[in-house]
Amino acid sequence: MSDTIQRSIAVDPDAVRSSTNADDGETAAIIMQLRQKLKAQTEEVTALQSKLGSVHAEYQKEVSPATVAN
């Protein structure tokens, strides 16, 4: 935690940021990669939620007759 605080203090918020076009291009590429990963993970979560819903519904169908029989 103290490392984060030290870094925050070490960077002057009023200082002019010296960035080059290469840095901006690299940053944009990293952001694009992260967005692609996030999209893939979001799609995976959605698919898993759907599968879970199907399995749960199937389980409920199997359990319901057993509950009525008892």
Q: Can you say how many angstroms the Cα of residue 18 is from the centroid of all Cα atoms in its chain?
A: 30
- Cα–Cα distance list, 36 to 44, 46, 61 (Å): 12, 15, 38
Helix ranges restricted to H, the chain: 2-10, 21-69
pTM of this prediction exceeds 0.75: no
Per-residue pLDDT of 10-55, as tens digits, reads: 666 666 666 567 788 899 999 999 999 999 999 999 999 999 999 9
- Cα–Cα distance list, 4 to 9, 11, 34, 46, 64 (Å): 9, 11, 23, 35, 54
> Residue 1 above 50 pLDDT?
no
Q: Can you say how many angstroms the Cα of residue 46 is from the centroid of all Cα atoms in its chain?
A: 12
